[in-house]
Amino acid sequence: MSGWTLTDKDVFHSVLLPAGTKIAAHGYLLIDESTFPVGIGAVDGVHLFSRFGVQVDSYSWTSTPATTLGRCPDGSGDFVETSAITKGTTNTCAATIAK
């Protein structure tokens, strides 16, 4: 992840991931919102760019979640509000009801 960039909805508010930044297999990289030059807003978004400047992922929201936003199922699904705050751990996704 060295050299990758994370921005808020204004791509000029960016965080450059420093040399040596790695994510272990099945691991997590925690980037706190206070890392951003102006923080993250209630209505905002984030963009992830590779070290070559190619946008790899992005997500926008229109209100602050009660918990956190995460991909469900963990790491691969759509971004949703998680069932619990999951900072730095596996996302806690709401149970689905079988039909």
- 34-70 tens-digit pLDDT: 888 787 888 889 999 999 999 999 999 999 888 888 8
Nearest to 83 by CA among 73, 74, 95, 97: 95
Residues of the chain with pLDDT > 90, as a percent, come to 32
Could you count the other beta carbons within 10 Å of the beta carbon of residue 52? 8
- Contact at 8 Å (CB) between 53 and 15? no
Average pLDDT score over the chain:
86
Res 46: pLDDT: 92
- Contact at 8 Å (CB) between 8 and 48? no
Res 95: pLDDT: 62
Determine if residue 3 is left, alpha or beta; phi over 0 gives left, psi from -120 to 50 gives alpha, anything else beta. left
Residues 19, 59, single domain; the answer is yes
Residues 47, 82, single domain; the answer is no
Residue range of the domain that includes 97: 65-99
* Residue 37 CA from chain centroid, whole number: 16
Residues 56, 98, single domain; the answer is no
Residues 53, 95, single domain; the answer is no
- The token duo for 64 is 């602050």
